[in-house]
A and B are shown apart, each in its own frame.
Chain A
Amino acid sequence: MNTTELRDELSARVASIDAPPSMSSAVAGKIRATKRRRAAAAAGVACAVAVLTGVTVVNAGRSTAPVLPAGRATSSVMVAADGMPYRPVPPSPGDVVRDGLRYRAQVGDDRLAVATIGAVGQSKVTLNWTPTTTRVSLAADCWVPGTDATSDSRPMVWVVVDGRRTFGVSCNASSAPAGDLGPSLDPDVTGTGWDQLVVGRVATIMLEVVDSKGQPLVNPDAQVAAAIYAKGPQRDVTDPSTGKVALQVPQVREYQGYRYRLDSLAVGRVSAGPLRRDTPAGKPFIVFFGTTETPVGTAGSTHVDGLTDGSVNAGDGGQTTANQPARPAGTITLRHEGATPKRGVQLLAIYTLAG
């Protein structure tokens, strides 16, 4: 293998990919949605329309780590390829399991509210849930083996809330490998929870596999699974200039079977200068950093220094999670380069291993 072959491979992988004719209209839709979301945020009200196109994909959402039966976990610490500790999580009474797939009853402090894993060949599943909270995350998993992962006609799964198509997620082109599934979508785009849910009112959330034309897909090998997790305790990140909550961060995160607790949190205006936090000695930790409420497309960018791989550019918006293997005590610095936006909040949080 040499770099010429690498170049050839990259070119070959995308040779058949062309932008669909609908790209321009899709971009226009994104622009309209962003405008609506900004307008709603400025008015301080929830915008029900924004969620239609504003749902944020946060992860492919699943683990291929094997689900081990209780008692197989060893007391010796296993270290993953990224230098962080790793351990399988044994079964729990509240887990939802089928065909080797599992939605865990609890991930970090997030608790499974409702879940279903459809049988192979079942291309539609439904969750009926009476919300006790609207601060939730969602799992929407779909597999249709034998399809072309690069094709325009790749099937997707629609998430339909109370009869209304809300958003779609592409299906995996393979069958579901055994392992843990996890929430992959954060439908809270307003900071006030999923605005299609009402506490105490039954919500019907259906997932249906459709083809490229949006028609229900019948495939004997298709499989769908869905879950809703109620978020655990969060810490408010308040915009100092407005006094309003700009973001919430979880008080506990889980990574590779281990819990990490929020140890320290620094928040400030982007224009106020760098943020710094000390890091623990001899223990793995997680750094969560970034900005929120900054204007889109500003010239400046956010950088963080002190991570294991040096300086990291966090871009011009959004938040980052960096997992840090054990090392001597140090300092993490979050700083802004280039033009400084007049508004926006920056944050730097350290999560330490809680066991």
Chain B
Amino acid sequence: MAERDDFDTFVASRSTALLRIAFLLTHDRGLAEDLVQTALAKAWFAWGRIEGNPETYVRRILVNTYSSWWRRKWNGEQATDQLPESPPGRPSAAAARHAAAGQIDDRTDLWQALAHLPKRQRAVVVLRFYEDLSEIETAEVMQCSVGTVKSQASRALAKLRLDPALHHDERTTRAGEAR
């Protein structure tokens, strides 16, 4: 069980790591700071009841809080340039360009593509490929099944248009972690 006295030490030592995760989730420095502060404040109230490594618990709060913020969004005001502006059957110019290119070919596009991922998929990408958590650890943070992590990661990578062969290799490499 974590001691309350340890909380300040945890904040001082882990804030940068948490802030980096939050920035990758929100893509906004201000929101990221607010997200970390909110998650740590929530953790403080439960600090005495945390069993094991508090970082896992705080990560879980961080991801859940991030999801909640996005869920509270003003509906109808979040259209993006992903939306087709022409009727079905007439792909947009942007879609045609991407189809022709076959992949997102520079880092600016990748960052923008990450921003367009659904929140759960973005969270999986950050936890798996930035934090290097295993599928089991990611499932623990996101409070879902390993299968859900796999499917969300697969969808996210497909949307990011990663090389299918490498995508396959990745799943093969990590498959043992779920067993």
User: What is A's interface to B at a CB cutoff of 8 Å?
Assistant: 1-3, 5-7, 9-14, 17-20, 23-24, 26-27, 29-31, 34, 56-66, 74, 76, 78-81, 86, 107-108, 137, 149-152, 154, 156, 168-170, 180-184, 186, 253-258, 286, 290, 296-299, 301, 309-321, 323, 337
Contact = CB atoms under 8 A, between A and B. Distances in A.
Contacts of A62: 77
A309 B117 CA distance: 14
Interface of B: 8, 11-12, 15-16, 18-20, 23-24, 27-34, 36-38, 40-46, 49, 61, 64-65, 67-88, 103-105, 107, 110-111, 118, 120, 125-126, 129-130, 132, 142-144, 148, 151, 157, 160-163, 166-167, 170
Contact of A59 (B20, B73, B85, B143): B73
Contact of B41 (A27, A57, A311): A27
Which has the most chain A C-beta neighbours within 10 Å: B31, B77, B85, B118? B77
Given A23-B11, A27-B40, A64-B80, A13 B31 contact: no
A186 B11 CA distance: 28
Contacts of B64: 301, 313, 315-318
B87 A76 contact: yes
A296 B42 contact: yes
Contacts of B104: 1
For the complex of A and B, the 7 pairs showing the least CB-CB separation, nearest first, are A170-B30, A297-B46, A315-B64, A182-B77, A318-B68, A19-B15, A30-B41
B83 A23 contact: no
A26 B41 CA distance: 9
Contact of B76 (A19, A168, A169, A256): A256
A13 B24 contact: yes
A58 B148 contact: no
B76 A257 contact: yes
Contact of B148 (A107, A108, A311, A318): A311
Given A107-B77, A182-B74, A319-B71, A313 B144 contact: yes
Contacts of A29: 37
| Residue with the highest number of chain A CB atoms closer than 10 Å, among B68, B118, B130 | B68
Nearest to B27: A149
A298 B163 CA distance: 41
Contacts of B83: 65, 80-81, 86, 256
A205 B170 CA distance: 53
Contacts of B23: 13-14, 17, 150
8 contacts: A59-B70, A78-B86, A107-B74, A107-B76, A154-B29, A169-B30, A256-B76, A320-B68
Contacts of A256: 76, 79, 83
Given A296-B42, A297-B45, 9 more contacts: A24-B11, A27-B44, A34-B45, A78-B88, A149-B27, A253-B76, A314-B71, A321-B72, A337-B143
B44 A1 contact: no
Contacts of A183: 74, 77
B76 A108 contact: yes
Contact of A3 (B19, B82, B111, B129): B129
A321 B107 contact: no
Contacts of A154: 29-30
B74 to A, nearest CB: 5
Nearest to B113: A1
Contacts of A258: 76
B41 A315 contact: no
A290 B12 CA distance: 32
Nearest to A65: B79
A186 B75 CA distance: 13
B79 A80 contact: yes
A137 B148 contact: no
Contacts of B81: 64
A255 B76 contact: yes
A315 B67 contact: yes
Contacts of A290: 68, 71
A9 B29 contact: no
B111 A2 contact: no
Contacts of A3: 129, 157, 162, 166-167, 170
A288 B88 CA distance: 28
Most-contacted residue by chain B among A3, A56, A316, A318 (CB, 10 A): A3
Nearest to B11: A24
- Among B33, B43, B65, B70, the most chain A Cβ lie within 10 Å of the Cβ of B33
B70 to A, nearest CB: 8
A326 B84 CA distance: 18
A323 B119 CA distance: 13
B79 A63 contact: yes
B78 A296 contact: no
Contacts of A81: 82-84
A30 B88 contact: no
B110 to A, nearest CB: 6
A316 B60 CA distance: 10
